Amino acid sequence: MENLNTTPLPRIGDKAPSFEAVTTQGPIRFPEDYAGRWIILFSHPSDFTPVCTSEFMTFAARSDEFEALNCQLVGLSVDGLYSHIAWLRTIRDKIVYRGMQHVEVRFPLIADLRMKVANLYGMIQPGESSTSAVRAVFFIDPDATIRAVIYYPLALGRNFDEIKRVLVGLQTVDRFNVALPADWHPGDEAIVPTASSSAAAEERMTRPDEGTQCYDWFFCTRPLPQEELEEVPVQ
């Protein structure tokens, strides 16, 4: 029999579930406090652990890159506020990693001892751990819609170049009405939306738009110059 008390996992295309929480930057209402911005909501298993420490140092050291993309970072674990504060002070005062040191974590870190938010967002996955959040990453757009989700297990640290690539890719899709191919990076060609009728397919093959390269009716690309991508507007 279906468990009616089970909270379904938030999915791509869903509105981001709302909650209120205490964080290292004060109380927040999520996602309302960040209306009009992109949000990356991410969870980590535990304070004072080495993989999580490396991730927080990397996110903090690169936070200006995400800020420039109109993106708010919000972290979470099922530790308490005082543990969070002590851990972030330890990161700032003692930890050196890959040339990073004296790193100040200025984005909010949610205290979630009762696992309320972690369960709301499907960050507790019992097959991996029933007492710690996995490494989940939710990409939420300025309309508070979930646009992408990535889950990592406890032992595997995240790839931050990929996290930034996903964010830039989503913004690019929205601005230029394109799709993006495998291994796309800013400056690469994008995929033109597939023709929606036989007539459109025929015209695309015989009279393609300037700059468009069609390999067949369903597979056409066009360039998006680097300087054009760098002008992606904030919303």
pLDDT digits (tens, 9 = 90+) for 168-181: 999 999 999 999 99
Segment 156-179 mean pLDDT? 96
Q: What is the mean pLDDT of the chain?
A: 91
**Looking at the chain, how many residues does it have?**
235
- In this prediction, residue 7 has a pLDDT band, given cuts at 50, 70 and 90, of low
> Given a cut of 80, is residue 195 above it in pLDDT?
no
pLDDT mean over 74-103: 97
pLDDT band at 107 (very low <50, low <70, confident <90, very high): very high
Q: Give 205's pLDDT tier (boundaries 50, 70, 90).
A: confident
User: Nearest to residue 147, comparing CAs of 226, 227, 235?
Assistant: 235
52 a catalytic residue: yes
Tell me which of 6-10, 80-84, 190-194 is least confident.
6-10
Domains of the chain are: 19-159 (3.40.30.10), 177-229 (3.30.1020.10)
pLDDT tens, residue by residue, 26-66: 999 999 999 999 999 999 999 999 999 999 999 999 999 99
With contact defined as beta carbons under 8 Å apart, do 117 and 110 qualify? yes
Candidates 52, 71, 214, 220; catalytic one: 52
The larger pLDDT score, comparing residue 228 to residue 14, is at 14
Residue 4 has pLDDT above 70, yes or no: no
Confidence of residue 229 (pLDDT cuts 50, 70, 90): low
Q: Which of 145, 80, 151, 146 minimizes the C-alpha distance to 122?
A: 151
pLDDT tier, 8 (very low <50, low <70, confident <90, very high otherwise): confident
State residue 208's pLDDT score. 73
* Confidence check: pLDDT of 23 > 70: yes
Nearest 5°: the CA angle 145, 151, 156 is 145
The annotation places the binding site for substrate at 135
**Residue 1 predicted with pLDDT over 50:** no
- Token readout for 11 is 């999915």
DSSP string, 35-85: TTSEEEEEE-S-TT-HHHHHHHHHHHHTHHHHHHTTEEEEEEESS-HHHHH
Check: CB of residue 132 under 8 Å from CB of residue 52: no
